Amino acid sequence: MSNPSLLILAGDGIGPEVMEEVKKIITWYGDKRDLKFDVSEDLVGGCAYDKHGTPLHDDTMTKAQEVDAVLLGAVGGPQYDSLDFSVKPERGLLRLRKEMDLFANLRPAQCFDALADFSSLKKDVVAGLDIMIVRELTSGIYFGEPRGIFEEGNERVGINTQRYTESEIDRVARAAFELAMKRNKKLCSMEKANVMESGILWREVVTEVGKDYPEVALSHMYADAGAMQLCRWPKQFDVIVTDNLFGDLLSDAAAMLTGSLGMLPSASLGAPMENGRPKALYEPVHGSAPDIAGQGKANPIACILSFAMALRYSFDLGAEAERLEAAIETVLADGARTADLLGPEGGTPISTSEMGDAIVAALEKSL
């Protein structure tokens, strides 16, 4: 039986730095847990444009379609801002999502106990927070037609179209219900059915899908009210399912409840392949952070947690994912902090590589 395959696309900015720490973790699992992965590497984003004139080469896209999971670092940087929209680094990531048909974006917002004071909200509001936002990723207003900037009379008009089919809503809703079944059997669907026809359809389809999951307590909430409730009392939620635009906004809002974007992973899942595993791309929520790239200041935890999500959702290694998450919890409880986690009290931060080494050491102690 062949080893599970993993394509690493470190990308730009701090991407290569944080990915080096993930490679340490992968090596540890191979050496100490006999979990071998067939790892290949390639380019995406600005570095791919520099070499190939495109943010994602066709050969790389083919590789991504063939492996069990893709692990991505970050894309973009100010040196690419003047490029034509069609070849900007972010187009490489969007192409991966679209052509792999990664329709369900999983964005956990988990507050480690050691960082509860780091949130902008009161400790009792965020301590123990563990919610999951499921965002539809391949349709909605980011992809709908017509779109563009057009001349209308004597002025220009910008147009984007919010568009969803029943089947697109159905499949992301089912992904959310399945996730809720494995958690606390509670799902909140968010849209704007009060002012948007697409929201009316969204609510109707999610309600219909819910009949197939009678054990899950389904509720509905307008997305703007959901944003308010995330800031008021986020622990009322467990799994949230929403569309592409609202998911983009709500998941970033939920992200900051935990204190730092450097702590947050994500998974983008598609339909099952022949081996039964879903097509999948895992990436940290943070961007390429060009202001600190190459300085050893980046927090690698979000990227490492993205690998933990791969262990759980692509390779059915939930216990090993929990081992890795517990190691991170231990390191944070021991006071290890990269620069983004120091807070107003200050202190001496450890480097990107030192954080990775500390997590490997905690894994070693877990044996």
Q: Looking at the structure, do residues 270 and 244 belong to the same domain, yes or no?
A: no
> pTM here?
0.90
**Same domain (yes/no): 135, 90:** no
Give CB contacts under 8 A, 24+ apart, made by 196-199. Answer: 196/162, 198/140, 198/162, 198/163, 198/164, 198/243
Question: Is residue 125 in a domain?
Answer: no
Active-site residue, from 248, 279, 282, 313: 248
- What's residue 125's pLDDT? 87
Catalytic member of 49, 142, 213, 282: 142
**Choice among 50, 130, 170, 224 that is catalytic:** 224
pLDDT score at 140: 96
Check whether residue 25 and residue 75 sit in a common domain: yes
Catalytic option among 101, 170, 252, 357: 252
Whether residue 265 sits in one domain with residue 248: no
Q: Which letter, b or e, does each residue of 183-217 get, where b requires 16 or more Cβ atoms within 10 Å of its Cβ?
A: eeeebbbbbbbeeeebbebbbebbeebbeebeebe
- Can 224 be counted among the known catalytic residues? yes
The amino acid sitting at 215 is: E
> Do 52 and 169 fall within a single domain?
no
Are 316 and 325 contacting, i.e. CB atoms less than 8 angstroms apart? no
Supply the range of the domain harboring residue 93: 1-108+261-367
Spans of the chain below 70 pLDDT: 1, 259, 343-346
pLDDT value of position 344: 66
Residue 118 in domain: no
- What CATH number is given to the structural domain containing 90? 3.40.718.10
**Do 134 and 239 have their domain in common?**
yes
* Predicted local confidence at residue 136, as pLDDT: 97
**Residue 248 annotated in active site:** yes
End-of-domain residue from the set 257, 278, 294: 257
Domain end point (choices 224, 257, 290): 257
pLDDT digits (tens, 9 = 90+) for 212-236: 999 999 999 999 999 999 999 999 9
> Quick check: helix, strand or coil at residue 143?
coil
Tokens 């001349």 correspond to 151
Q: Are residue 59 and residue 84 in the same domain, yes or no?
A: yes
Same domain, 244 and 341: no
298 and 239 share a domain? no
The residue type of 144 is G
pLDDT at 118: 76
Q: Number of structural domains, the chain?
A: 2
Which of 192, 243, 282, 313 is flagged as catalytic? 192
Burial class for 63, CB neighbours closer than 10 Å (0-12, 13-18, 19+): middle
Q: Domain end: 257, 289, 304, which one?
A: 257
The reply to whether 21 and 78 lie within a common domain is yes
Q: Are residues 44 and 134 in the same domain?
A: no
Q: Is 252 a catalytic residue?
A: yes
148 and 248 belong to one structural domain = yes
Which residue matches tokens 């944070």? 332
Classify residue 122: in a domain, yes or no. no
